[in-house]
C-alpha cells in the first residue's frame, strides 16, 4: 500500500532522514520507534506533504505521492494525526469531527463513520457539544483519532498518540487502536516512544535511529532482539 524508498529529507540545510525505505502492506499495523530526534515526525510530515524530500520516492496505492499536492493526499486516503493532538480548542467535539470529514469519502460516509467513531470512542458521543479545549489530554487524543477516522482514511498515521498521557490512558488508546483495526480494514502506521506497547500492538516494526532504518522485523523478532531489549525495553 505504502512504499517509501531511499527517502532523504530535512529542514533547509539540516538533513534529518537519510535514505529511509519502509513498506506497509494493506491492513497492516506498522510501528516506527526510535529515540528523540531520530526523524520519526519528519517521516510522517514527508508522507503527508508538510516536508518536501530532497531524494527518494513514496508510492501510495500505485500513486506517486510526491507529485500529488498535500491537500489532495487526504483525498487519496491518508490521515495524519499529528504529534501533540492539535485539536481545534474553540470548536466543539462534533465540529472537530466534521473538520476531519472534509475529504470526498468523509463527506459521503459521514453517517456511517460517525456511528462507528462513537461506538469505538464513546466519550466523544458523550462530550459531542463540549469545546475541545476543555477536554482532558486523553480525551483530546481520542478526538484527534476520531477526526482522522472521520475522513474515511485507508491509512491512519498516528504520531505519538500516548505522549503526555498517564500509562492507563495510554494503554486504553493502544487497546482502542487494536480494536478499531480488528473491526475495520484500516492500515495503521504508528510512531511511538513507548516501544514495548507499540511492538505489542503492531505486527511489524521499524527502528529509526539518526535518520536511518537501524532494524526492522515482525513484532516477535523485534521484541526478542537483544539490541531492542537493551536499548528500548530496559532488559
Ligand atoms: P521526537 O520524538 O523528539 O519528535 P522524532 O524522531 O520525531 O523525535 P523529528 O521531530 O523528526 O524527530 O526531528 C528530527 C530532527 O529534526 C531533530 O534534530 C529536530 O531538532 C529537527 N527538526 C524538527 N523539526 C524541525 C524544523 N521545523 N526546523 C529545523 N529542524 C527541525
pTM for the predicted model, two decimal places = 0.93
Q: Is 79 exposed, middle or buried (0-12, 13-18, 19+ CB in 10 A)?
A: buried
E-only strand ranges, the chain: 2-11, 14-24, 29-33, 55-60, 63-64, 78-81, 155-159, 187-192, 204-209, 212-218
Look at residues 181, 120, 173 and name the one whose alpha carbon lies nearest to residue 153: 181
The kind and range of the H/E element at 26 are: none
The predicted pLDDT at position 85 comes to 86
What is d(CA 78, CA 73) in angstroms, rounded to the nearest whole number?
6
ipTM beyond cut 0.85: yes
Does residue 13 surpass a pLDDT of 80? no
Which ligand 1 atom is the nearest neighbour of the CA of 35?
A: 6
The predicted pLDDT at position 140 comes to 97
Which ligand 1 atom is the nearest neighbour of the CA of 191?
A: 7
Residue found by looking up cell 464513546 in the block: 122
pLDDT in tens, 98-107: 999 999 999 9
Does the C-beta of 16 come closer than 6 Å to ligand 1?
Answer: yes
Which ligand 1 atom is the nearest neighbour of the CA of 193?
A: 2
* Residue with CA at minimum distance from ligand 1 atom 19: 37
What is d(CA 3, CA 218) in angstroms, rounded to the nearest whole number?
17
What is d(CA 119, CA 180) in angstroms, rounded to the nearest whole number?
10
What is d(CA 166, CA 169) in angstroms, rounded to the nearest whole number?
5
Does the C-beta of 13 come closer than 6 Å to ligand 1?
Answer: no
DSSP letter at 92 equals: B
Question: Is residue 29 a contact partner of residue 9, using CB atoms and an 8 Å limit?
Answer: no
pLDDT in tens, 109-164: 999 999 999 999 999 999 999 999 999 999 999 999 999 999 999 999 999 999 99
The predicted pLDDT at position 185 comes to 82
159 DSSP β-pair partners: 191
* Residue with CA at minimum distance from ligand 1 atom 29: 11
**Per-residue cell: 29:** 499495523
What is d(CA 17, CA 212) in angstroms, rounded to the nearest whole number?
6
Amino acid at each position: 500500500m505504502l512504499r517509501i524508498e531511499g527517502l532523504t529529507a530535512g529542514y533547509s540545510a539540516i538533513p534529518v532522514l537519510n535514505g529511509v525505505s519502509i513498506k506497509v502492506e494493506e491492513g497492516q499495523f506498522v510501528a516506527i520507534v526510535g529515540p528523540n530526534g531520530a526523524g520519526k515526525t519528519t517521516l510522517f510530515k514527508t508522507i503527508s506533504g508538510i516536508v518536501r524530500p530532497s531524494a527518494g520516492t513514496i508510492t501510495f496505492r500505485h500513486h506517486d505521492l510526491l507529485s500529488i499536492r498535500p491537500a489532495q493526499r487526504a483525498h487519496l486516503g491518508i490521515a495524519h494525526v499529528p504529534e501533540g493532538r492539535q485539536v481545534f480548542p474553540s470548536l466543539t467535539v462534533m465540529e472537530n469531527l466534521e473538520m476531519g470529514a472534509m475529504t470526498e469519502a468523509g463527506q459521503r460516509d459521514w453517517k456511517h463513520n460517525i456511528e462507528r467513531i462513537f461506538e469505538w470512542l464513546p466519550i466523544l458521543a458523550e462530550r459531542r457539544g463540549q469545546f475541545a479545549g476543555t477536554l482532558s489530554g486523553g480525551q483530546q487524543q481520542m478526538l484527534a483519532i476520531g477526526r482522522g477516522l472521520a475522513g474515511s482514511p485507508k491509512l491512519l498515521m498516528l504520531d505519538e498518540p500516548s505522549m503526555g498521557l498517564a500509562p492507563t490512558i495510554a494503554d486504553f488508546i493502544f487497546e482502542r487502536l487494536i480494536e478499531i483495526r480488528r473491526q475495520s480494514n484500516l492500515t495503521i502506521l504508528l510512531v511511538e516512544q513507548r516501544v514495548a506497547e507499540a511492538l505489542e500492538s503492531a505486527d511489524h516494526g521499524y527502528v529509526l535511529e539518526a535518520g536511518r532504518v537501524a532494524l526492522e522485523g515482525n513484532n516477535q523478532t523485534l521484541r526478542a532482539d537483544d539490541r531492542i531489549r537493551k536499548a528500548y525495553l530496559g532488559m
